[in-house]
């Protein structure tokens, strides 16, 4: 359904979209660096808020707190699971430089007695992507994957089919089309390879920007599914490097896991834009249950 909406109505724009409204933070009067937000239930997977959505919320607060607008490198440690509802973000500026500034942010929610419980703690360095030189000397190549029309999203399953495992509220907000080569898990035949690839866009047609890249690196099904594992794969730590402002249009997200050991795995994500530029790299450490 989301697909139909995104292609037939007028696309949303950066600054006026579901993603922008749901990540908007409000400065708390009289408390510099403190922000309030009502976390939206629209970005949940099963009952938990997506870690990339939460990272974008923290990234939004830091863009306000720091003198630079663009996240260059953001390191997040996930402490406790977040739920839709009120939250407060407390920021701290560590250093303001000419080309880079560094700060930290913590997201808190509230226990039954009203006390704050920390959900995520982040350190990030921000800059201005538009001031970087155009030089590119890269050996990285875009992922090999079919065009979006030959990939599959949550809306492509026949109505008689059981719901895709992990399909959730967030599915309606994303235009996510998975490479059939990494979709075996959904058909009960995982490939055994630690790979997951998809075309990614926002369902309302809003183009990508550095903040929505923070969402995109953690929005695909876990590679663990293609490795034959099931269940929750909670992120311990996630670091994103934004390397370039993305061009308009959908992006390709390619995630690779090489080392599953001791109940942990890494997920390395690359995001490529419509101009074949590597616009973001990320790595996360996550826990898995080994059957």
Unique residue bearing structure tokens 């080569």: 181
| Of the candidate residues 124, 145, 198, 233, the single one contacting a copy of itself (CB under 8 A) | 124
Closest contact distance (angstroms) between CB of 193 and a copy of itself is 7
Closest contact distance (angstroms) between CB of 135 and a copy of itself is 5
Applying the rule CB under 8 A, the residues between 173 and 192 that interact with a copy of itself are none
Does the protein bind a copy of itself through residue 54 (CB under 8 A)?
no
Sheet of 235-242: strand order equals: 26-27, 34-39, 85-96, 101-110, 116-127, 70-78, 235-242, 278-287, 264-272, 251-256, 195-202, 174-178
Structure tokens at 108: 């808190």
Applying the rule CB under 8 A, the residues between 234 and 273 that interact with a copy of itself are 236-237, 239, 241, 243-244, 258-264, 266
Cα separations in angstroms, 93 against 7, 33, 103, 119 = 41, 9, 4, 19
Interatomic CA distance for residues 198 and 192, integer angstroms: 17
Structure tokens at 241: 């490097």
Encoded one letter per residue, x for contact with a copy of itself by CB under 8 A and - for no contact, window 212-231 reads ---------------x----
Does the protein bind a copy of itself through residue 94 (CB under 8 A)?
yes
Residues forming the site for a copy of itself (CB under 8 A): 72-73, 75, 77, 79-80, 94-95, 100, 102, 104, 106, 118, 121-125, 129, 132-140, 193-194, 227, 236-237, 239, 241, 243-244, 258-264, 266, 277-278, 281, 283, 285, 290
């Amino acid at each position: 359904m989301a697909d139909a909406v995104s292609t037939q109505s007028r696309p949303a724009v950066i600054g006026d979209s579901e993603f922008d409204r749901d990540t908007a933070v409000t400065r708390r009067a009289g408390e510099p660096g403190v922000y309030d937000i009502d976390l939206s239930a629209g970005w949940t997977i099963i009952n938990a808020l997506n870690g990339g959505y939460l990272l974008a919320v923290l990234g939004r607060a830091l863009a306000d707190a720091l003198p630079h607008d663009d996240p260059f490198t953001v390191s997040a440690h996930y402490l406790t699971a977040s739920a839709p509802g009120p939250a407060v973000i407390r920021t701290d500026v560590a250093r303001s430089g000419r080309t880079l500034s560094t700060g930290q942010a913590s997201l808190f929610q509230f226990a039954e007695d009203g006390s704050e419980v920390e959900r995520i703690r982040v350190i990030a360095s921000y800059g201005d992507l538009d001031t970087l030189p155009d030089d590119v000397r890269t050996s990285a190549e875009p992922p090999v994957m079919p065009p979006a029309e030959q990939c599959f999203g949550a809306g492509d399953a026949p109505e008689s089919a059981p719901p895709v495992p992990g399909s959730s509220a967030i599915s309606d907000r994303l235009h996510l089309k998975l490479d059939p080569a990494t979709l075996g898990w959904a058909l009960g035949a995982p490939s055994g390879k630690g790979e997951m690839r998809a075309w990614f866009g926002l369902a309302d047609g809003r183009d990508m920007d550095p903040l929505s890249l923070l969402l995109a690196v953690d929005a695909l099904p876990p590679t663990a599914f293609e490795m034959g594992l099931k269940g929750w794969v909670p992120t311990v730590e996630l670091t994103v490097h934004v390397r370039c402002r993305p061009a308009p249009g959908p992006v390709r997200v390619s995630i690779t896991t090489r080392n599953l050991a001791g109940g942990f795995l890494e997920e390395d994500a690359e995001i490529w834009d419509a101009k074949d530029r590597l616009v973001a790299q990320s790595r996360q450490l996550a826990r898995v249950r080994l059957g």
